[in-house]
Amino acid sequence: MALMALPTLADLEAARDRIRARVRHTPLLPLDVPGAGDARVFAKPENLQRTGSFKIRGASHFLARMSADDRARGVVTHSSGNHAQGVAAAAHAWGVPALVVIPEGAPQVKIDRTLAWGAEVVRCANTSEDRVGTAQRHASERGATLVPPFDHPWIVEGQASVGLEIHDDLQDAANVLVCVGGGGLLGGIAAALRTRGSKAQILGVEPTLAADASESFATGRVTEWPAELVTRTVADGVRTQALGVLNHAIIHASVDGFVTVDEDEILDAAAWYVQDARLVVEPTGGLTLAAYRRLLAGDGPFRLRPGPTVLLVSGGNVDPDRLRDLAVRPLPS
């Protein structure tokens, strides 16, 4: 495939400057992961953002790049929840009308919090075709701007601020593990680290039940999985059916590989965060810890490189019933 050029460091740093006052520079929190010995392991807790996930970064940057006239006509997006909240919060900050298309099956807590930011919510069937089609129709009817969840340079540049922060705080990171759905976060972090000159091993992490990005990386072309497959995973934040085209190009050029993890591993990791690390983490946020445990055990084709490891915690928007289950889930010995 013809590889797309990476965003420049100037692009990414300008994007961070645009959103600096609207997002939190989340810290790197040391973790005492069982079995890791003296290894230095850090969580990058994007669950501590105002909306409970990293998605506010890309959404805020997209709205910052829009013209005043376009903002006045409003925005429309589609999302299973975290991008919905990001767009709703960013629109609230700018005083912009927002409509969000949320598919059936999304956690109620994410719907409620999207409404709390003042956005209008419309439901649809849980397929990419229905989500995109419904959002496009409403945007056209209103003359509003469609804010893509992940496949857009402005979104990727906003998410890349996570990678710039990681490099600012830990220039000698040896391994960086990032969950992946549509690829905006992984692509943005990888672009930021590579343009800063980082030699860290960057690994994407997916559920085995929704491993379309892993397949796309292996084949070199974007592969779409049916909705009935990707919706099987408990990690609702990565139920996208395919990588974005732009994101795939960046990932293909910048990422070292992928690790896939099973459902019990995801829930065990999220439960450990809740019980032992005192962090409220949704199942998607537990993906990277689950992958780290696999790497510690020597499973799969990759090995941890000597040096510090960063685990991206993507979000903490978890339904109360799920949180109760995680709080009492027996942890592996």
Element (H, E) at 204: strand 201-207
Residue 199 a catalytic site member: no
74 touches 96 (CB < 8 A): yes
CA distance 292 to 273: 13
What value, to the nearest 5°, has the Cα angle with vertex 278 and ends 275 and 283?
Answer: 70
Complete DSSP assignment for 295-326: HHTT-SS--PPSS-EEEEE-B----HHHHHHH
Catalytic: which of 53, 60, 79, 80?
80
CA dihedral 16, 207, 289, 213 (to 10 degrees): -40
Give start and end residues of each alpha helix (H) in the chain. 9-19, 55-65, 68-72, 82-94, 108-116, 128-142, 153-169, 184-195, 212-219, 227-230, 245-254, 263-272, 287-296, 320-328
- Please tell me what DSSP assigns to residue 147: -
Cross-strand partners of 261: 207
Which residues 6+ apart lie within 8 Å of 207 measured at CB? 233, 234, 235, 238, 260, 261, 262, 263, 266, 287
> Which residue in 187, 194, 232 sits closest to 213, CA to CA?
187
Cross-strand partners of 236: none
Give start and end residues of each alpha helix (H) in 231-278. 245-254, 263-272
Give the chain's end-to-end CA distance (angstroms, integer).
45
Catalytic: which of 55, 128, 214, 216?
55
Residue 80 a catalytic site member: yes
Cross-strand partners of 225: none
> Which residue, chain included where needed, has tokens 């995801």?
266
> What amino acid positions are annotated as catalytic residues?
55, 80
